[in-house]
């Protein structure tokens, strides 16, 4: 078969589809390669939670109304620690909500939208085999099952945490130990207290989540310390349900019925790449950076990073040289690093610590008692603000006063 395109995107999940839609709308010819032959394929290892940081991206794509029509729940949340509940205030200076929508609904919806975008060819069963290079060593195409060789000016790796594009392009990742593991399952007939769509319990060292989703489904998520692995090896469902027994304001599981498999992983290290761009190549989503799943940022960052890359490279892809395309990809790399590496740093630190550190204890205690602190706490927690907002003198002073007030 073969063909010539401006861009070849490897992977048609959230990041790949977002990049395809935005680049196609800019008048570019886009090959969207998907290894799976089933257009309804979806990611199973997921909290089905899109942070509010990605709401502007969804609105730009025109997909917010599509998600709501598909039953997506606008998410807001509460977080519990030993200092009590931190309740999310009405947002100020940040997006009002994100969405909870099962990936079995979300992924095919994104794929259909991408396939309808101008200039986008969705190629199912196109499993990547190799990257091709020109005489100067720059990547200039891909070879994939069912489609043969496709030439292009940029290859976008949107193929997840085990990215083959990254490996073939020489963009290695550094894994950071995670002392917790994760399991998920979907249930019906579950009521989440407080009427919220998200509840988080930080139990030190364990964590648990309840996510209210479309069609009356609640996704229960356990992120325990690895010392509890034998419990889950014996009976994953029973161990998952036990995580919620006796929790403060626990969801009512009396009539709960599981409607999905229990899925998860015994090990989920964070992955950080020093470089996410090389001549002719750029990475987005989990191919670029993998965060500890306890924070549920993967879906939102998939959408956002694809948007950042598309905005960086669209113009040079239309009118520029290969050198200008690569320069734009490096600008994207710098932006990605500036926006996400601070979050990654603090997430890695938490994934290797059984207890909250003194700073975290101060902030959780302050946020549980001061709505102003809570607002900024959630601005960071929903990835709308840098972690450094938590370290501002005013923030620390307000948190300290709130904590002392109840002693």
* Residues 362, 400 contacting (CB under 8 angstroms): yes
In 10 A of CB 119, how many CB atoms?
Answer: 17
The structure's pTM equals 0.96
pLDDT of 241 strictly over 80: yes
Describe the strand order of the beta sheet including 139-144 as a list of residue ranges: 3-4, 148-151, 139-144, 128-133
Rounded to the nearest integer, the mean pLDDT of the chain is 96
Task: State pLDDT tens for residues 144-172.
Answer: 999 999 999 999 999 999 999 999 999 99
Segment among 60-64, 191-195, 246-250 with least mean pLDDT: 191-195
377: pLDDT confidence band, cut at 50, 70 and 90? very high
Dihedral class, residue 63 (left if φ above 0, else alpha if ψ from -120 to 50, else beta):
alpha
Looking at the chain, the whole-number percentage of residues with pLDDT higher than 70 is: 99
pLDDT for 77: 85
93: pLDDT confidence band, cut at 50, 70 and 90? confident
Mean pLDDT of the region 47-53: 94
Looking at the chain, the whole-number percentage of residues with pLDDT higher than 90 is: 94
336: pLDDT confidence band, cut at 50, 70 and 90? very high
In 10 A of CB 288, how many CB atoms?
Answer: 32
Task: State pLDDT tens for residues 285-314.
Answer: 999 999 999 999 999 999 999 999 999 999
């Amino acid at each position: 078969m073969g063909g010539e395109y401006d861009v070849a995107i490897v992977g048609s999940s959230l990041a790949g589809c977002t990049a395809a839609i935005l680049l196609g709308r800019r008048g570019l010819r886009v090959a969207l390669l998907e290894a799976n032959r089933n257009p309804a394929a979806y990611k199973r290892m997921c909290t089905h939670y899109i942070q509010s940081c990605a709401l502007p991206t969804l609105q730009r794509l025109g997909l917010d109304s599509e998600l709501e029509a598909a039953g997506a729940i606008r998410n807001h949340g509460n977080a519990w620690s030993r200092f009590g509940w931190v309740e999310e205030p009405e947002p100020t200076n940040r997006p009002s909500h994100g969405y909870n929508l099962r990936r079995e609904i979300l992924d095919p919806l994104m794929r259909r939208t991408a396939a309808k975008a101008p200039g986008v060819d969705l190629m199912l069963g196109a499993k990547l085999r190799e990257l091709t290079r020109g005489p100067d060593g720059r990547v200039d195409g891909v070879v994939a099952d069912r489609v043969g060789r496709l030439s292009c000016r940029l290859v976008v790796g949107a193929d997840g945490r085990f990215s083959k594009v990254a490996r073939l392009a020489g963009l290695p990742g550094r894994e950071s130990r995670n002392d917790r593991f994760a399991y998920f399952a979907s249930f019906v007939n579950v009521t989440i207290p407080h009427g919220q769509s998200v509840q988080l319990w930080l139990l030190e060292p364990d964590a648990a989540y309840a996510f209210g989703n479309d069609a009356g489904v609640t996704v229960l998520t356990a992120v325990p310390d690895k010392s509890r692995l034998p419990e889950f090896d014996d009976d994953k469902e029973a161990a998952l349900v036990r995580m919620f027994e006796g929790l403060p304001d626990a969801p009512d599981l009396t009539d709960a019925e599981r409607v999905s498999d229990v899925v998860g992983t015994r090990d989920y290290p964070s992955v950080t790449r020093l470089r996410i761009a090389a001549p002719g190549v750029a990475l987005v989503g989990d191919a670029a950076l993998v965060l500890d799943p306890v924070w549920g940022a993967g879906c939102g960052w998939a959408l956002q990073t694809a948007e950042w890359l598309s905005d960086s490279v669209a113009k040079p892809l239309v009118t520029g040289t290969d050198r200008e395309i690569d320069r734009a990809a490096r600008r994207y790399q710098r932006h990605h690093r500036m926006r996400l590496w601070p979050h990654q740093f603090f997430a890695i630190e938490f994934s290797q610590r059984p207890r909250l550190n003194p700073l975290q204890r101060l902030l959780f205690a302050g946020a549980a008692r001061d709505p102003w602190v809570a607002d900024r706490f959630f601005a960071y927690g929903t990835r709308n603000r840098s972690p450094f907002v938590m370290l501002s003198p005013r923030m620390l002073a307000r948190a300290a006063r709130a904590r002392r007030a109840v002693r």
